[in-house]
Chain A
Amino acid sequence: MIVRVKASPVLDAIKMSMSGNDHFALQNLLGVFGERGINICLGVEIKNKEDVMNITLCFNPKETDYVTTFIREHYPTLSFSMIKSVRIISVFPFRDNAEVAFQFIKTLEDNAVPVLALSTSLSSISCLVPQVYCSIAVESLETTFNISNKNS
């Protein structure tokens, strides 16, 4: 199996928490993202046991000021945090393979890479890491998956 490791450009991320039974604020925010043409490069929304939605959305840093201002003006009570300079690290292919997931996360843990969010798509397993950990994450994953040509 030929495995590839890929890193995204530098992005910013917003983390939010809101009631799990009320998607209204998230709907509105995503609607505004869409109208403004903001592409969400990675998004994860998960409800915890207390029915609180925890959400992470990644986007182009040039939109950060707009997003921050919009939330402060329209949802002043919304809890959120803006995380500057993050990268999405992806390994292809994934194909629901628990072995790949294990090798992926074990490598990151062994190298003390903080994972801000984790998700999978059709073909990949991806995580969100601070920009400063990008190199170690990519290099260690390339070592784990025995990738000789650095194509990230």
Chain B
Amino acid sequence: MNNEKIRAYRIINHQFLTLVRIEFPGGADSQFGEIFEIFKQRNFSLRFLASEMSLKGEKTLYLGVDLLSEETMGELIDALRGIENRRELALISQVSMAMLYGPHFGEMPGIFGLTLSAFAGSGIIPLAISASSSSLSWLFPSGQFKKALEILHNIFEFPKAFSSWDENSDDL
């Protein structure tokens, strides 16, 4: 990679999110269906969603939703406490996320590593990362969000018309 900015198509930010983290021990059935049903019933938008299974078979699920009030958090915790087999449940406010889209990213290997190096060089360690061949998403502690955005704008260039997207935009 040279020092020229990499063209990206869109960046979408959600600065004010609540992270729901649920962990399941290895070997246990993870009731993701039940969990998503709880979110569906409350009509939450899932701004960030990723799950990973460790080498020991333990599963961790991250769900980022628009910032919840204390009342809603309490009600959600009560609902999620009923999930069987879970080992850990935590609701963390506030976190932030950025999502970068470029349909050509699949033809440009190295972007994942490049961004991770740039973040680490500034002391930013994302809570979670989700990558596909056309997009990258990061979940950050809220205190690191502004700096993380600066870094992304230093690495990538965006078409002016699309450089700043309303987080509720449906035009995706």
Closest Cβ of chain B to A88, distance in Å, is 8
A23 close to B116 (CB less than 8 A): yes
Cβ contact within 8 Å between A44 and B135: no
Query: A77 within 8 Å of B by Cβ?
Result: no
Closest partner residue, chain A, to B132 (CB atom):
A121
Q: Is the CB of A20 within 8 A of B112?
A: no
Q: Within A115-130, which residues are at the interface with B (CB < 8 Å)?
A: 115-126
Determine whether the beta carbon of A98 is less than 8 Å from that of B54: no
The residue in chain A whose Cβ has the minimal distance to the Cβ of B48 is A120
Question: How many inter-chain residue pairs (CB < 8 Å) link A and B?
Answer: 184
CA distance A134 to B126 in the complex (A): 31
Which applies to chain B's interface (DSSP): helix, strand, loop or mixed?
mixed
Check A101 against B110 for contact (C-beta < 8 Å). no
**A105 and B119 alpha carbons, distance in the complex (Å):** 32
Q: Do the beta carbons of B44 and A44 come within 8 Å of each other?
A: no
**CB nearest to A125 among chain B residues:** B49
Please judge, given known A-B contacts A23-B125, A30-B113, A54-B53, whether A43 and B99 are in contact too, CB under 8 Å.
no
Please give the residue numbers on chain B whose beta carbons come within 8 Å of chain A beta carbons, in ascending order.
1, 10, 12, 21, 23, 32-33, 36-37, 39-40, 42-55, 58, 60-62, 88, 90, 99, 101, 106-107, 109-114, 116-117, 119-120, 125-135, 137, 170, 172
Q: Give residues in A with beta carbon < 8 Å to B.
A: 15-17, 20-21, 23-24, 26-27, 29-31, 33-49, 52, 54-56, 79-81, 95-99, 101-102, 105-106, 109-110, 115-126
A24-B120, A27-B117 are known; give 5 further A-B pairs, CB within 8 A.
A23-B125, A38-B109, A44-B129, A46-B127, A117-B53
